[in-house]
Chain A
Amino acid sequence: MKASLITESLQVRVLLSVVAVLFIAIFVGLPLAIVFAEALSKGFQAYTNAIMSENARSAIKLTLLVAAIAVPCNMVFGLAASWAITKFEFAGKRLLITFIELPFSVSPVISGLIYVLLFGTNSMLGEWLDRHDIQIIFAVPGLVIATIFVTFPFIARELIPLMEEQGTESEEAAIMLGASGWQTFWHVTLPNIKWGLFYGVLLCNARAMGEFGAVSVVSGHISGLTNTIPLHVEILYNEYNFAAAFAVASILTLLALCTLLIKSIIEYYFPYEVKALH
């Protein structure tokens, strides 16, 4: 910054910097460190065993499966919603955006509860589902739906400000040149938003794999069947199997760190293509 006219005295600056750094170090750094410290506390072999255990493996598979369904669905939703919202003017836009951001304000536990109410044995659909032998809650479909609910805003939220900023001129130009709607979307819009989309998918994925509260409610905690990685971590922890719990937790932690790293890289190289969080 410029001259000392608008900066604080050295003591104040040092004090504030120390406070800030300490706060971050204690509240963010230490928890991060302890994950890996505890994970490796019983040695590398124990770490590998924990990750490769049968329950852990099926938890990983399940998590990947749920994410593999939820994320693409949400991606299609995000693209459709942001196309409708940013390329057109219509009544009720604000209301629509509010609904899209809803999951952010709802407790994950409630997010799971609503599906238990809808599909559970005592619910309206419950009997119909029972008759047709379809299991939604306490089974994989329930996990997928709950995960979709919690994570669908991420991609839309990332794309909307970005596409809003880019405006409609490029698309109008393409249409005037004779391109169809799909051609315009594919050749003109998509290349412009590719980094924002990528980042949104990354965030959506990280959250989908790490979701705990909502999934906890709908899953029934049946080990080997309906346990995702976070639920598996909880079980291990409650069994006082700390090292194993942290070992499995470290997988998700690494995923979170990778997500943040990629985010920083994208923001560094393409600052104008990733808008939402700023």
Chain B
Amino acid sequence: MSIQVRNIIKHYGDTNVLDNVSLEVKSGELIALLGPSGSGKTTLLRIIAGMEMADSGTVLLDGREALSQKAGERRVGFVFQHYALFKHMTVFENVAFGLRVRPKNERLEEKEIRRKVMQLLTLVHLDKFHDRYPSHLSGGQRQRVALARALAVEPKLLLLDEPFGALDSKVRKELRRWMRRLHDEIHVTSIFVTHDQEEAMEVADRVIVMSNGKIEQMGTPGEVYHQPANSFVYDFLGNYNVFEGWKDEEGNTHLLEYDVKEDEPASQTVPLPRPGGWMSRYPEITHLLRKVLPGVLPGDTSILPIQKKKAARPNYDKPVKLFARPHELFVAKSPDEHEYIRAQVIHINPAGPLVKVEMERRNGNVLTAEVPKDVIDMLAIQKNDVVFVRPKNTRVFEGS
């Protein structure tokens, strides 16, 4: 079943829950609606299901207006976050429910119903539990029953509302893999809602990132992660570090490091040691002159562009924020000719192939870097060491 959502608007009282949302889903796709709570993703899902109605806009299922059909006729399967299993029915009876409530002329024979139900239960590996009650099942098992129940009526669209939200992480990971495999087998168009970006990235063909009732970006997991459309998407899909910077006239970006003291120049790298000359003999005078007339004295590297050209003055009119993922930070024990930020290591988390290093800058911000273990060992970086950090790859989002 293909789905077209056009210009959906929904309010609850004064809040705009969905603000002119449009999207398309091709038949057979597995889509994730990803976003924080309050982003409107569950409301959108329920509107597609027909359980709630939008204030304006249309939903087309296979080209037909969804509202023109009764809820049960739309062939939409819905899996609730808390399963909504019928507590007083066994697993078998739960799954058979949709088949048994069909009007007499459409209903299958009980034998046939039994066959289909057991087939589904085998598919979800719960055939041995068919006469158990939901209260005697684990969360993961209950969720599989809910899925089987929804699949029993052969829906053309499967909608799942935070299907794994109420489960603990190990079970979640297993069920994720399992759902992916299930979808590969049955190819039902599916949309699931989640706030867990890892889940969306691992399972979905396409991810739709939502926030505050709007769609921020739609794309494959690779697209939204590596080519985020804006800072929200970037932020939501992973950890990051942010640096203040500025753009020079040529459009190059530079790092800006705020100093703790007011009177020091705002941009500073660690001055490179230069051998010889009267400046090294009278470091105090040199230092004073550098403070008063930055960039004038030869060898004054107080402002250095990455390309090592003659420095332009910091242009505070064009502030930018530079974003870098933890694995995109380059950590060194001593600086080279690039721009560096000085920081002190406050914590090292050695668990895993990538060591997480937390560092505190002079302005109080904390940077997180993921560094391969052998680099850490080679540099012999330890807690309280002063290190120099440079983002290898940055993203810029204008303004704030």
Contact = CB atoms under 8 A, between A and B. Distances in A.
Interface of A: 169-170, 172-180, 183, 187-188, 191-192
B87 A176 contact: no
Nearest to A190: B88
B87 A177 contact: no
Chain A CB within 10 Å — which of B82, B84, B152 has the most?
A: B84
Interface in B62-82: 71-73, 76-78, 80, 82
A176 B155 CA distance: 10
A176 B88 contact: no
Contact of B101 (A170, A172, A183, A191): A183
19 contacts: A169-B84, A170-B84, A173-B78, A173-B80, A173-B84, A173-B86, A173-B149, A175-B72, A176-B51, A176-B72, A176-B76, A176-B78, A177-B149, A178-B72, A178-B98, A179-B72, A179-B101, A192-B87, A192-B88
A179 to B, nearest CB: 4
A178 to B, nearest CB: 4
A40 B78 CA distance: 64
Nearest to B87: A192
A243 to B, nearest CB: 49
Interface in B147-181: 149-150, 152-153
Nearest to B50: A176
A187 B101 contact: yes
B45 to A, nearest CB: 12
A77 B216 CA distance: 49
Contacts of A187: 86, 97, 101
Contacts of A183: 101
Nearest to A169: B84
A175 B101 CA distance: 10
A186 to B, nearest CB: 10
Contacts of A170: 84, 86
B82 A169 contact: yes
Given A172-B51, A183-B101, A187-B101, A177 B153 contact: yes
A16 B77 CA distance: 59
Given A178-B72, A192-B87, 13 more contacts: A169-B84, A172-B51, A173-B86, A174-B86, A174-B97, A176-B51, A176-B71, A176-B78, A178-B73, A183-B101, A187-B101, A191-B86, A192-B88
A174 B88 CA distance: 14
B97 A179 contact: yes
B9 interface: no
A180 B104 CA distance: 13
Contacts of A188: 86
Interface size class of B (residues with CB under 8 A): 20 to 34
Contact of A176 (B49, B82, B86, B102): B49
A221 to B, nearest CB: 48
Contacts of A191: 86, 88
B166 to A, nearest CB: 13
Contacts of B73: 178
Interface string B170-209: 0000000000000000000000000000000000000000
A183 B84 CA distance: 16
B192 to A, nearest CB: 15
A174 B87 CA distance: 13
Nearest to B72: A178
Interface in B97-122: 97-98, 101-102
A183 B104 CA distance: 13
Nearest to A173: B84
Contacts of B78: 172-173, 176
A177 B84 contact: no
Given A169-B80, A172-B51, A177 B98 contact: yes
B258 to A, nearest CB: 51
Interface in B9-59: 49, 51
A11 B149 CA distance: 61
Nearest to A172: B51
A172 B150 CA distance: 12
A183 B97 CA distance: 10
A273 to B, nearest CB: 10
Nearest to A176: B78
A177 B50 CA distance: 12
Nearest to A166: B87
A191 B85 CA distance: 13
A7 B149 CA distance: 52
B88 A178 contact: no
Query: Which 3 A-B residue pairs are closest in the complex by CB-CB distance?
Result: A177-B98, A178-B72, A169-B84
